[in-house]
Structure 1
């Protein structure tokens, strides 16, 4: 038997975890709702809990869902080009401090928008981004996080998931990973550790990623 050292990996959600996009999302959904003569606040409350196609089914059941999605995508792409974005405090220090190849992004958004937002906020982009187009099942399914681990060559048990939302937490837990919650005043059910802010979590995430651990091997 030998003791073999393995690396550790960190998998990040994006919106609400690394990028503060709440005002942008509210504005996009508000503009979308106005186009269809709907109440912006009511639409946004539904959108917070569901994926876009499910939102359309609830708030605009008489409309063509593909048309609704095309309109939403158009607004989101324009927001990436012209909207104001901010990274959460500590995000740049954290991502620049992680070992290359040790982290990935797992998002329900699309890669081109993530890249646009990271470019706008000066955050580094990793080699692995699992977006909505990369999987057939989104969060809370474990598939997105398992896909990211596979692309990194990592075992699920060696991965730490950083999330801010219940669906993402369920996704990480279902994948058999350690899950820490950030940017919430109250801990999301199921998380292994809770931090009120990303800034508070930074030293702990860096410590996790840079301290290899061993396992017994024949």
Structure 2
């Protein structure tokens, strides 16, 4: 049992990661990196395995050290934008019910992607977009720094202790914990280290997230 920092009797806020948490973009990411690898004559599987663990500029340094990293990034961004326009996206089960069930102004998205792509994916999947999206361009320090989640809370007018972070990845979990927020993990068979609660799927977490937002959750995590 881990004690959560949430405080009862106050307005609650929910901050979501996007890819892997609300939207299943694994096949899209693999496809984009596969096409990128082909452009540079590289093995698609090897490149994708590196890309899973590192940020794009770090990936380029490892797999294409002889190439101009800015050119590599431009190519990747073009492929990602095209994928948003033409790719097939799917929201995780429960995502639509969850986001429609939260009070307006009580939730935000915190993503390492870019806002225009996130909004495009939300349009493609029919998910409602919030007023606050903190993307890669909004912060100088990305996850696992606490900065992205702290900025989202500030833009919502929320105190960190009144925020629930919903994440699927270790870097995002660390970001939320460092921000002093309650952090729940979803869409993973094994709990990410540090989470206050763990759910195998987003669908399983939906009623608990809605209860947190309504202020009716308990302070102890299972």
In the TM superposition, what whole-angstrom CA distance separates every residue of 1:126-149 from its partner, at most 9, and x where no partner exists? Answer: 010000000001111111000000
Aligned twin of 2:43: 39
Aligned twin of 2:109: 105
**Residue in structure 1 matching 2:208, options 204, 207, 215:** 204
CA contact (8 A) 1:101 1:127 kept: yes
Aligned twin of 1:171: 175
TM-score, with structure 2 as normaliser: 0.93
Aligned twin of 1:30: 34
CA RMSD of aligned residues (A): 1.1
Q: Unpaired segments of 5 or more residues in structure 1?
A: 214-218
In the TM superposition, what whole-angstrom CA distance separates every residue of 1:48-88 from its partner, at most 9, and x where no partner exists? Answer: 11111111111111111110000000000000000000000
CA contact (8 A) 1:7 1:212 kept: no
Deviation at 1:212, TM superposition (A): 6.7
Aligned twin of 1:80: 84
Aligned twin of 1:135: 139
Residues of 2 paired with 1:191 and 1:159: CA distance? 14
Aligned twin of 1:50: 54
Q: Unpaired segments of 5 or more residues in structure 2?
A: 1-7, 218-222
CA contact (8 A) 2:9 2:215 kept: no
Deviation at 1:6, TM superposition (A): 1.9
TM-score, with structure 1 as normaliser: 0.94
Deviation at 1:211, TM superposition (A): 1.5
Residues of 1 paired with 2:162 and 2:89: CA distance? 32
CA contact (8 A) 1:8 1:211 kept: yes
The answer to whether structure 1 residue 67 and structure 2 residue 71 are counterparts is: yes
Aligned twin of 1:151: 155
Deviation at 1:5, TM superposition (A): 4.0
Indicate the SS of the match to 1:10: strand
Structure 1's 196 and 122: CA in aligned 2 closer, same or farther, altered over 3 A? same
Indicate the SS of the match to 2:108: strand
